[in-house]
Chains A and B, each alone.
Chain A
Amino acid sequence: MTNEVILQVKDLKTYFTVDEGLVKAVDGVSFDLHKGETLGIVGESGSGKSVTNLSVINLIPTPPGKIAGGQVLFHGKDLLAMPQAEIRQIRGNKISMIFQDPMTSLNPFLKVSTQMIETIVLHQGLDKDAAKQKAIEMLKLAGIPAPEKRIDQYPHQFSGGMRQRVMIAMSLSCNPEILIADEPTSALDVTIQAQILEIMQELTKRLGTAVILITHSLGVVAGTCDTLCVMYAGRIVERGPTDVIFEDPKHPYTKGLIRSVPRLDVENSERLYSIQGQPPNVIDLPDCCPFYPRCEKAMDICKKKYPAIANFEQGRAVSCWLYSGAKDE
């Protein structure tokens, strides 16, 4: 990880128009990604993690979705303002994605070879034979045995874990600068999850690829991510280096999340902590801190206004009235 920032997300807003009203799925998200960095995004289901990352490569289904504001600067160029033809040369090439469900993410009607080769031919300008060699090599790196045989099989002939390895191999086949992995292991058996994460980490380290890792699991984050963003109701509520946040979480939501992870190293017979209340409804959300109904430290102002960002040393940022100058109350 160097200090060169390759991706800057600035005040990103993505809204969906549904029958019930306006869903502000992502409402003012900002973060930086450095070269070779692994950035984790955690948050409850529906907090806007996937939408954030689909917005980054401008793949929000429109309608019902719409990117309502913000910028995504990749090496200084705004991906959201780019013509389709130009961003297509970045997708799958400089920025690639892996999705949650490997069972449905590959086209069942096309051989793995076809699906891998088309990407390599498109972005690397290799001929088909060379592209196939490259694909086989990538499958091998991703830990698929006998790749020269398996490459000509169809996705349904692979197990879930193997398919995710194929996805990893495919997404890294053009040496991307950024890999966005949207819950790459949530759909897999626990025993396979660790293997997949490990192979992903190993390959991205080797290729120097920066990773945005979306996950529910703080356990995954602790082991893999340099930086952590905690999302709640479409916003990032806390951001900073992973170890610092784990050591000293500031936002009440982050505190709750960390307290609710089972720990083997702490000896106590206390019941596992869980955050009370329901995840918020993000339809027509008023301008308050969306976490206040569940917050143990909620104050009056939390119901009235969304907290401004409070910055701390080491690049930490927290959105909570406890830190944003409401101290006089």
Chain B
Amino acid sequence: MAKRIDVTDLNVYYGSFKAVEGVSMTVEPRSVTAFIGPSGCGKSTFLRTLNRMHEVIPGGRVEGKVMLDDQDLYAPSMDPVTVRRTIGMVFQRPNPFPTMSIYDNVAAGLRLNGVKNKKTLDGIVESSLKGANLWTEVKDRLNKPGAGLSGGQQQRLCIARAIAVQPQVLLMDEPCSALDPISTLAIEDLINELKSEFTIVIVTHNMQQAARVSDRTAFFNLKATGEPGRLIEIDDTTRIFNNPSEQSTEDYISGRFG
């Protein structure tokens, strides 16, 4: 299931503004990679290039190479829709479809792509909700609107929705920043379970969270506002937090700036 991502020399633009410059990294399969760094350094921007969501923004374009195992994601023959089915995404703010029930939300990715078989859908909805640790809380009200859940439940619903299309990789952009500590813990536990099946990349502002959930950590930084963000270093999480090779990483982690 899970796949490796190899990024080489990636530049990311918004129109003429270069937001991210020269990123090369490898994201290991079946592991959690955390992105940390000060606000505006391009973590979200870079994350969105990994499943070609960046080009949805008018003027958004990318230079460089992103490989998923041996597939070039930015090859001209590559359909961005296929890429996004393979690499799912969870957003900062929970965004269930407001017109759909809990069941329909989870089934949405499959239904909108033409899967109609009720049995198949039932099975996938149940396993996805179980996978997202939400099943016991919602199994009696699958037909109630998804927007009626609590924020933390909504976020887990969004995770269930993302894993229901059975992606290889799951990207998460600050998935806990709108949640209370309990829901945050629930999602962190979930990430720990999911990593046996998926390759996970998570952006977070919370150092403890990065330290708790991730196997590897990438630190991004930018020289000054208006300058493009860069990858400073990526290494095992324990190493980044205890003995980073760059001074700026240590400064950031110990709270001396950013």
| A and B from one complex | no
Residues of A within 8 A of B (CB): none
